[in-house]
A and B are shown apart, each in its own frame.
Chain A
Amino acid sequence: MTRRSKLALDPAMVRTARRLAKRAAAPVEKLARTHTTVSVERAILRLAGLSGADASGIPWVNRLVEAVQADTGLDHGVALPAWAAVVREGLDLPTLAEKAAAGGVTFTLPTGRDRQRARSAADKAVAAGLRRIDRNRRVREQLTRKLGDPPFPWVYLIVATGDIDEDIPQAQAAAREGADVIAVIRSTGQSLLDYVPEGATHEGFAGTYATQENFRLMRAALDDVSRELGRYVRLTNYASGLCMPEIATLAGLERLDMMLNDCMYGIIFRDINPIRTFVDQRFSRQIHARAGIIINTGEDNYLTTADAVDAAHTVIVSQLLNERFAREAGLADWQLGLGHAFEINPDIPDQFRLELAHAQLVRELFPSAPLKYMPPTKHMSGNVFAGYLLNAFFNLAGVMTDQSIILVGMMTEGIHTPFLSDRDLALENVRYVRNSCGNLAEDFHPPANGLIQQRARQVLGESIDLLERICDDGLLSAIADGTFGVTKRPADGGRGLDGVVAKADGYHNPASAVLEEAM
């Protein structure tokens, strides 16, 4: 789609911004290529079909990676020592994991012909998982063709009961009410677990655990309702956190359609180690690229802590970095659901015009990306009537600036999990704005050098200034200095650093070998 700039942005400035983002990302990309993590290695085992958990609920992939790490370290990857043992002991992977957890296997790094045999066994096992991901991508393409694919903007609704059995009827009801995308919010703090829980789950803290079985159950339920409605209803979950590579893999294996996957969210908001995060996000995005999954980035989060006017440029900078890291990992532009939000204080004069400037700027900087626009949260008070009005203005801004994925704002945001009626009223709001405005975007032409154009150019200018500083200091130092959000995150701090390992010469990862080749 080609769009004429409504903001009279200087194409040279846009190119400069991208060039700086690429330069800022380069050292971190190198770190990501030269390191692995326990979660990347566990993802390999999941691709090879290893699932389930021991009696205490610790997944077998964790137990096996721990056992291999204890014997050989992980600098050559889990695959070679694990499949050397598979070949040597004549066991299948689940039996090996069980035996290893009981201390009954000694792992060694194979050499010579043993190495060749282990490598080809590992490659074969992991290829089966990649084939399943490829098959799911084709099934999605077939279903969207056969059942119908809703046009943008997609209506995105959240379900979060904690119990997958309750989530399913709620998700189906939401789809019948008009949702194009169902997001199942995770249990509070799952991003900090260094393992993926197992099985169908029925209790969570303000959300439902992301597990392979929960993914499967919900996707099957949405397939049913998609057939009933004659349109493909997409399913979203959350990859960010300590298990980004594994959750991305499970999403590919169970045909999820979109995944929250931000290059810095875990660092800033969850105090996960920066290097762990960057290594994990690269592998997880390679998997998403392969699976045809659309990622959603989390820039809206910045504006819930920082001021939406003062920090507008940090959103743009993060989007440019997310785009850069995503492209480097092989994602296509149609897979980049870059996030932003309608979070300016409604008491500020010209609030709506400033929101339009920001939203249009994002639209024009990323013309082919399915942008995800988030409703107000910070300035939603207990006054549900005022909140309903604010959500209408959010919906209007979304239509006027041609946003792609619209998260439906609830007037009871921050009060309780949405009532059935809250959701229905919210959808009525969206429907009214969409129907009454139609293709209002084609009529929206901010005047030359008016407030909207000037504000957009100012934010772009500030973004370039910040990117220049990041290039000078290094991205890791910028994060350590509290550039994003308000929090300082040093490169050697945070959770999960002990799970990061520098790759040795001869490191082998059967999935990466295939994924890198495809890029």
Chain B
Amino acid sequence: MSGPVIRPYGDTTGDGMVQVSFTLPIAKDERADGAAQQLARKMGLDPAMVVHSKPVGPDFTFFIVYGRVSHLVDLAAVEVTEREYPLLSAKEVNLAIRARLGRRLVVVGAAVGTDAHTVGLDAILNVKGVAGEKGLESYREIRVLNLGSQVDAEVLAHRAEAEGADAILVSQVVTQRGAHMQHVREVADAINVVYPASTRPLLIAGGPRFDPAAAADLGVDRVFGKGTTPREVASYLVHAICQSARDHAAGRR
């Protein structure tokens, strides 16, 4: 132990009291509370009080348990994994774009190559969104062009230029033999042909098979992996584009 140490707080400093609730696949019979007790003790609650147990259908029982844990939290050993940009709400994203860019941010998205799956692209772009979060289309200050699937890399690059894209999103869901990486490299190459050096928009790749650490290898600015939500992408866009726009305006670039 190197730093300050704390315990959970119920109503007295150091009492270590916590609450948990769970369901066990067991009928609500005389064994049920004992089974919950046993689990709670193994979880470190001692003493454990089963304050509520209720049958959920014939084969399950739901429990609420209070108890004291003996575990200590060593604050010095807490690791904070910070993303390099803050996660913003939709409102904050819109405000940041308005304040720093002074116009709508333009995003062009496509699933490229042979991949006909737009589920990932649509989850990020469609108003409907994913996991309770609305997609980028729902952000007032973001203009989204969703080109759909099987878009040719050169078509994507030219379209991005014609639309004045600030960012290009490339999605790859279904892949084999590394095709997803190949397709993204093709887009990076096509963009470098269309845009003069160091003027290209932000290039972002996304899909469940990508390694988020492989951005440089793929020739893109950022890779988003499985489970990414629209808000994370929007927050990153604000960070990457609006930040550099401000730096640029201030002559700091």
Which residues does A use to contact B, with CB under 8 Å?
173, 176-177, 188-189, 192, 205-206, 268-271, 301, 304-305, 377, 413-414, 419-421, 424-425, 485-487, 495
Contacts and interface: CB of A to CB of B under 8 A. Distances in A.
Given A271-B146, A424-B56, A495-B148, A304 B123 contact: no
B119 interface: yes
12 contacts: A176-B57, A177-B57, A189-B123, A205-B119, A270-B126, A271-B126, A420-B23, A420-B62, A421-B22, A421-B23, A425-B62, A487-B127
A270 B23 CA distance: 38
Given A269-B128, A304-B134, 18 more contacts: A176-B57, A177-B57, A189-B118, A189-B122, A206-B130, A269-B126, A269-B127, A270-B128, A271-B126, A271-B127, A305-B138, A413-B132, A419-B23, A420-B23, A420-B62, A421-B21, A485-B138, A487-B127
Q: Residue among A189, A205, A304, A485 with the most chain B CB within 10 A? A: A189
Contacts of A268: 127
Interface in B194-220: none
A188 B62 CA distance: 31
A108 to B, nearest CB: 32
Nearest to B138: A305
Interface string B57-71: 100101000000000
Contacts of B128: 269-270, 301
B131 interface: yes
B41 interface: no
B132 A377 contact: yes
Contacts of A487: 127, 137-138
A493 to B, nearest CB: 10
B contact face: mostly helix, strand, loop, or mixed: mixed
A421 B56 CA distance: 7
A270 B140 CA distance: 17
Contacts of A377: 132
Nearest to B59: A173
Nearest to B126: A270
Q: Which 9 A-B pairs have the closest CB atoms?
A: A414-B132, A189-B119, A421-B62, A269-B128, A424-B56, A269-B127, A421-B23, A305-B138, A189-B122
Contacts of A425: 62
Contacts of B123: 188-189
B120 to A, nearest CB: 9
Interface string B174-206: 000000000000000000000000000000000
Nearest to B58: A176
A421 B21 CA distance: 9
Nearest to B132: A414
A188 B146 contact: no
Nearest to B122: A189
Interface string B137-152: 1101000001010000
A420 B56 contact: yes
Nearest to A187: B119
Interface in B81-127: 118-119, 122-123, 126-127
Contacts of A413: 132
Contacts of B132: 377, 413-414
Interface of B: 21-23, 54, 56-57, 60, 62, 118-119, 122-123, 126-128, 130-132, 134, 137-138, 140, 146, 148
Contacts of B126: 269-271
Given A413-B132, A414-B132, A486 B119 contact: no
A480 to B, nearest CB: 15
Contacts of A206: 130-131
Contact of B119 (A188, A421, A495): A188
Contacts of B130: 188, 206
A425 B64 CA distance: 12
Contact of A414 (B56, B62, B118, B131): B131
B57 A305 contact: no
Nearest to B146: A271
Contacts of A189: 118-119, 122-123
Q: Residue among B54, B123, B132 with the most chain A CB within 10 A? A: B132
A413 B131 CA distance: 9
A485 B138 CA distance: 8
Contact of A420 (B60, B119, B127, B138): B60
A234 to B, nearest CB: 20
Contacts of A177: 56-57
Contacts of B131: 206, 414
B122 A192 contact: yes
Nearest to A485: B127
Contacts of A421: 21-23, 56, 62
A38 to B, nearest CB: 17
A486 B56 contact: no
Contacts of B138: 305, 485-487
A486 B54 CA distance: 45
Q: Residue among B22, B118, B119, B130 with the most chain A CB within 10 A? A: B119
Q: Residue among A270, A304, A425 with the most chain B CB within 10 A? A: A304
Contacts of A486: 127, 138, 140
Contacts of A420: 23, 56, 60, 62
Nearest to B121: A189
A423 to B, nearest CB: 8
A205 to B, nearest CB: 6
Contacts of B119: 188-189, 205
Contacts of A270: 122, 126-128
A326 to B, nearest CB: 23
A424 B62 contact: yes
A188 B128 CA distance: 10
A187 B162 CA distance: 34
B87 to A, nearest CB: 14
Contacts of B21: 421
A377 B129 CA distance: 14
Contacts of A495: 148
B94 to A, nearest CB: 11
Nearest to A423: B56
A488 to B, nearest CB: 9
A486 B131 CA distance: 19
Q: Residue among A177, A421, A424, A425 with the most chain B CB within 10 A? A: A421
A341 to B, nearest CB: 14
